[in-house]
Structure 1
Amino acid sequence: MDKNLDIQIVEALKAYLASGVEDQVNYQKFYLYSIVTHSTAIEGSTVTEIENQLLFDEGIAAKGRSLTEQMMNVDLKDAYLYAFKIASENPIYTPQLLQQLSALVMRRTGSEYSTIAGHFDSSKGEFRLCNVSAGIGGRSYLAYNKVPRAVDDFCEWLNKEIAYVYKTDIAACYRLSFEAHFRLVTIHPWVDGNGRTTRLVMNMIQRQLGLVPSIVRKEDKGEYIQSLVDSRENDDSTIAQDVMLSHHIANLNRRTLQYQENDTVNLHPDTVNDTVNSQNDTVSELKEGLKRIYIAIQKNPEITHSQLVEIFNISESTAKRATRDLKKLGYIEREGSDKTGRWVILK
Structure 2
Amino acid sequence: MKTLLKNAREQKGLKTREVAQILGIDQALISKFESGTRKPTKEQISKLARLLEIDYETLMIAWLKEKILYEIGDDEFALKALMVAEEEIKYNRTISNLKISTSLEKLLQEIDVLKAKLDTYRQFDSYRITQALELEYTFESNRIEGNTMTLRETDMVINEGLTISGKSMREHLEAINHHEAIGFIKDLMQKNNSLNERDLLSIHNLILRGIIPEDAGRYRKVQVMIKGSSHMPPQPFMVAKEMEDYFIWYEINKNKLHPVILAAEMHERLVTIHPFIDGNGRTSRLVMNLILMQKGYLITNIKGDYETRMQYYQSLETAQTKNNKEDFILFIAQIEKQSLERYIDIIAQ
- For Structure 1 versus Structure 2, the TM-score category normalised by the shorter chain is 0.5 to 0.7
Report the Cα distance in structure 2 between the residues aligned to 1:88 and 1:19, rounded to whole angstroms.
Answer: 19
CA radius of gyration, larger in: 2
Q: Report the equivalent of 2:247.
A: 155
> Are the equivalent residues in 2 in contact too, given 1:94–1:152 (CA < 8 A)?
no
Name the CA shift for 1:89/1:17 in 2 (closer, same or farther; >3 Å): closer
1:326 corresponds in structure 2 to: none
CA distance in 1, matches of 2:228, 2:264: 26
Structure 1 counterpart of 2:63: none
Q: Does 1:229 align with 2:317?
A: yes
**Are 1:135 and 2:237 counterparts?**
no
Cα offset for 1:154?
A: 0.6
Change beyond 3 A, Cα 1:132–1:34: same
Superposed CA RMSD in Å reads: 2.3
Aligned match of 2:98: none
After superposition, the C-alpha distances for 1:257-300 in whole angstroms (9 at most, x for unaligned) are 4666xx5xxxxxxxxxxxxxxxxxxxxxxxxxxxxxxxxxxxxx
Q: Is it true that 1:249 corresponds to 2:337 in the alignment?
A: yes
C-alpha contact (below 8 Å) 1:40/1:72 kept by paired residues: yes
Contact 2:125 2:347 in 1 (8 A): no
Paired residues of 1:131 and 1:140 also in contact (CA < 8 A): no
Q: 1:203 aligns with which of 289, 303, 307?
A: 289
CA contact 1:214–1:248 (8 Å) conserved in 2: yes
Per the normalisation by structure 2, the TM-score is: 0.65
Matched letter for residue 234 of structure 1: K
Matched residues in 2 for 1:152 and 1:70: separation?
33
1:217-266 per-residue CA deviation (whole Å, 9 max, x = no partner) reads: 11321111111001112202232111111122123334544666xx5xxx
Give the match's secondary structure for 2:191: coil
The answer to whether residue 173 in structure 2 is matched with residue 71 in structure 1 is yes
Spell out the pairing of 1:312-323 with structure 2 (5 A cutoff): none
Aligned partner of 1:148: which letter? Answer: A
Match of 1:105 in 2: 207
For structure 2, which runs of at least 5 residues remain unmatched after alignment? 1-100
> What is the Cα deviation at residue 12 of structure 1?
3.4
Residue of 94, 97, 122 corresponding to 2:215: 122
For normalisation by structure 1, the TM-score amounts to: 0.65
**Separation in structure 1 between the aligned mates of residue 196 and residue 316 of structure 2, nearest angstrom:** 24
DSSP-derived class of the 2:223 partner: coil
More strand by share: 1
Whether the 8 Å contact between 1:21 and 1:259 is mirrored in structure 2 is no
The one of 262, 265, 270 equivalent to 1:179 is 265
Cα displacement string for residues 42-64 of structure 1 (whole angstroms, at most 9, x for unaligned residues): 00112222222222222122333
Who is 1:30 aligned against? 132
Q: Deviations over 1:64-85 (max 9, x none)?
A: 3222111111011111111210
Comparing 33-42 and 18-27, the one that deviates more: 18-27
What is the CA-CA distance between 1:17 and the residue it aligns to? 5.4
Q: What is the alpha-carbon distance in structure 2 between the residues aligned to residue 22 and residue 65 of structure 1?
A: 37
Structure 1 residue 93: Cα displacement:
2.9
Q: 5+ unaligned residues in a row in structure 1: which ranges? A: 112-120, 167-171, 264-347
- Is contact 1:102-1:197 (8 Å) kept? yes
Whether contact under 8 Å (1:38, 1:217) holds in the other structure is yes
The number of residue pairs the alignment matches comes to 245
Give, as a single letter, the amino acid of the residue that structure 2 aligns with 1:59: G
Deviation string, structure 1 residues 27-55 (Cα, Å, up to 9, x no partner): 11221111111111100112222222222
Deviation at 1:90, TM superposition (A): 2.1
Check whether the contact 1:130–1:144 (CA below 8 A) recurs between aligned residues.
yes
Q: 1:239 to 1:22 in 2, by over 3 A?
A: farther
TM-superposed CA distance for 1:209, in Å, is: 1.7
Contact 1:33–1:53 (8 Å) recurs in 2:
yes
